[in-house]
Chains A and B, each alone.
Chain A
Amino acid sequence: MADLTTEFLGIKSPNPFWLASAPPTDKEYNVRRAFEAGWGGVVWKTLGSEGPPVVNVNGPRYGAIWGADRRLLGLNNIELITDRSLETNLEEITRVKKDYPDRAVIVSIMVPCEEQAWKDILPRVEATGADGIELNFGCPHGMAERGMGSAVGQVPEYIQMVTEWCKQYYSKPVIVKLTPNITDIRYPARAAKTGGADAVSLINTINSITSVNLDSMAPEPTIGGKGTHGGYCGPAVKPIALNMVAEIARCPQTHGMPISAIGGVTTWKDAAEFIAMGAGNVQVCTAAMTYGFKVVQEMITGLSAWMDEKGHSSIQDFMGSAVPNVTDWQYLDLNYVTKAKISQDDCIKCGRCFAACEDTSHQAIEMSEDRVFTVKDDECVACNLCVNVCPIEGCITMEEVPAGEIDLRTGEVVSADHGDWTTHPNNPSVTAAE
């Protein structure tokens, strides 16, 4: 069995699956049970300053989007940071870390954007023996209005400044957790790096309103007739997180900076994809909140089975392998030609490809009287829509037209050479350059 042991910033954990800072890591009781279930590490639920803790709403905190069979696809929350006292949390962290020396325990922190506030809390966190800290610059609701969370995360200068304070008053690794509620994720990542952060973690939740109650005409979750935007997470956000991780991994200024990937990790496969995209480990929240701590077991067995299949002996073996293959659109090879092909053996004759292509694409699928569906190579632009709407996996495939053969749509011979937009005759800037 493949070795899943992970060393992230020198912090060892038996596997790359950490619980993200959220309700699952809110207290000693949960964290002990999570470790017993097999989680490799936890990022403790975000701590605030000394003094009276924040208060949460007493009405519903969550909204959701569901798929088939009420499978939870997206979760939205309006919860704040921990609503328990700093002292209690620190005591619990100390006890847990002492009992689980082989697991990663990271403390998430969010205090006001003043040097003194950080100076006060950091030594106390250091005293717990936890392995590192994560700066919560991501929380998009409640705390942002108080000048914390995403209000800091959206201003790169603040990120850099706070990171510098942390590196100054704390000796162990500092992870900066980024908010996705920003136009270009590379700016805050660069600021974290400049400030001396050891790693970034992303994404925190995305500003969202999951639904409107059409009787009360209020957003959901509704608290006394009103609602507010919350933070979106779960399987629905994975593609967004994956892109942001990729952007940081391939940006020359941040390339190589350790990344703890978060956002929609639900199965081993999501984790493998994030790691291939440059992450050193993953953090999970919604999957645990949906299915309980036990979900980690399939993540562990699944990842190691896949690594065995592929001959990877450690996470390191495939970490970042997909990064060099992420490029900009303009560099994609326009001479790479494919055509959709429908396997008549697998086709169940639902006709969805026909409806999709005929009504919304390129009228490239023919339907016979007896419901046989075939692709017209002279019309197919290879958009892949039919593949995506077909209910049978593998029934429609995209087949490459080899170099030297004629693309029946354009009537041109497929070139063996790479040819992208930067050199294409239709590109006005190419012409201008001549």
Chain B
Amino acid sequence: MAQGHQASGIQAGRLAASDIAENFADLHPAYETHEAMVAADRCYFCHDAPCMTACPTSIDIPQFIREIQGGHPESAARTILDQNILGGMCARVCPTETLCEQVCVREVAEGKPVEIGRLQRYATDALMACGVHPFDRAEPTGKRIAVVGAGPAGLSAAHRLAMLGHDVELFEGQPKAGGLNEFGIAAYKSTNDFAAAEVDWLLQIGGITVTYGKTLGGDLNLEQLKSDYDAVFLSIGLGGVNALRAEGEDLAGVADAVDFIAKLRQSDDLSTLPVGRDVVVIGGGMTAVDAAVQSKLLGAENVTIAYRRDQSAMGASRFEQDLAATKGVKLMFNVMPKAVLGTNSAEEVELERTEIKEGRVTGTGETLRLKADQVFKAIGQTLEGQPEAVELSGGKIKVDAQGKTSVSGVWAGGDCASGGEDLTVTAVAEGRDAAMDIHQSLMG
């Protein structure tokens, strides 16, 4: 039987363990000190800097880069973490090419921005390597707050509330904290178990009790939380996934991209993780790209992303698309899935060409088939398990600019809440801002 690359079906060990390790190494490796100094030196210290405005957490970027120049990466980290307590993860996962680095005046002038993300990582790594937590808690306020969901939004809110002197009870349905930092982000963006290390470091602030395996809608209900706590913050992310609604969706070999990624992220040994020979990913966002790229890195022979609109409409940034292309992923545009075909398990995907008619994706009738022993669905996550009492808007929990929901005493933020892009950094910003608003309303 053919081995490695050429083995048919969903198989582990397509590549040697050493190749897999190399493939999953840091996408943007950490700077050496000298590299960091050279990179920092490129910052012009702009007046009212555009990068700072573009950052959803408004980190004072010129200031932290100047602190790196001055030889104090730890103070630089403090400047970052003041605004964004998950500055370490954000340095690794933020699509900087559409945020701070996109508006860097040197990107505009030369097409080569100051590498803000990597500098941020240099600073935060330096501080975390010291093993200290730079923030202290204020005098206890006697207030108790429930935070549901320990992803970026929940962690950010919990940290800020604890810092302000409140006691926080953090409920997490999974046995681990971190949310998609732990289960979703591409492995090559968060190496060496960084997500877990960051959570441990963050919790050093004190005053946060984490209870694992407790879900809202299961063991917890909103009414109870409201009566037991002075305020409630919901940060449950998007737990559901959209269905393909195509024939053959139930065949073996068809899976949710987020489940595949979660398994990959939790695997101790990637060389034992099975992947198809011919993989087709349906979707056009960051999840689609991550599932496709990581399939390729595990050794899948052919990986195709099939997206129903054109390239410019893709949710994944240009950088992510290019990353996929350089890793050998084929990007197909204007095709939608009609059916997954196969006897016992998936063998082929039938796609139909599309065009946009009056703003809607419409099939042209022309179809084609791709070999596919594994099919990943990455066509969007949906809100799941939210309490009935809260009003929704566009499929998410409706919140105002401060994160207040329609239910008094209940705030929400992150992917589960309306407003803002579904990004780690946005979740951090919303968690922090909701915490400030909770503090304000509790303390007057």
Q: Which residues of A are in contact with B by a Cβ distance under 8 Å?
A: 68-70, 348-352, 354-355, 367, 371, 391-392
Contact = CB atoms under 8 A, between A and B. Distances in A.
23 contacts: A68-B38, A68-B41, A69-B37, A69-B38, A69-B41, A70-B34, A70-B37, A348-B105, A348-B106, A348-B108, A348-B109, A349-B50, A349-B108, A350-B44, A350-B105, A351-B46, A351-B48, A352-B44, A352-B45, A367-B47, A371-B48, A391-B44, A392-B109
Select the residue from B34, B46, B47 with max chain A CB neighbours within 10 A.
B47
Contacts of B48: 351, 367, 371
Contacts, number: 35
Nearest to B38: A69
Nearest to B40: A68
Given A68-B41, A367-B48, 18 more contacts: A69-B37, A69-B41, A348-B105, A348-B108, A348-B109, A349-B46, A349-B50, A349-B105, A349-B108, A350-B46, A350-B105, A351-B47, A351-B48, A352-B45, A354-B47, A355-B47, A367-B47, A371-B48
A27 to B, nearest CB: 33
A371 B52 CA distance: 14
Interface residues of B, number: 15
Interface string B48-84: 1110000000000000000000000000000000000
User: Closest 3 interchain pairs by CB?
Assistant: A351-B47, A348-B109, A355-B47
Contacts of B108: 348-349
A348 B106 CA distance: 7
A354 B46 CA distance: 10
Nearest to B103: A349
Contacts of A392: 109
A371 B103 CA distance: 12
A371 B49 CA distance: 10
A319 to B, nearest CB: 38
A69 B38 CA distance: 5
Contacts of B109: 348, 392
A387 to B, nearest CB: 15
A69 B37 CA distance: 7
Contacts of A371: 48, 50
A350 B106 CA distance: 9
Contacts of B45: 352
Contacts of B106: 348
A355 to B, nearest CB: 4
Nearest to A69: B38
A383 B34 CA distance: 36
B252 to A, nearest CB: 55
Nearest to B44: A350
A349 B107 CA distance: 11
A391 B46 CA distance: 10
A41 B75 CA distance: 51
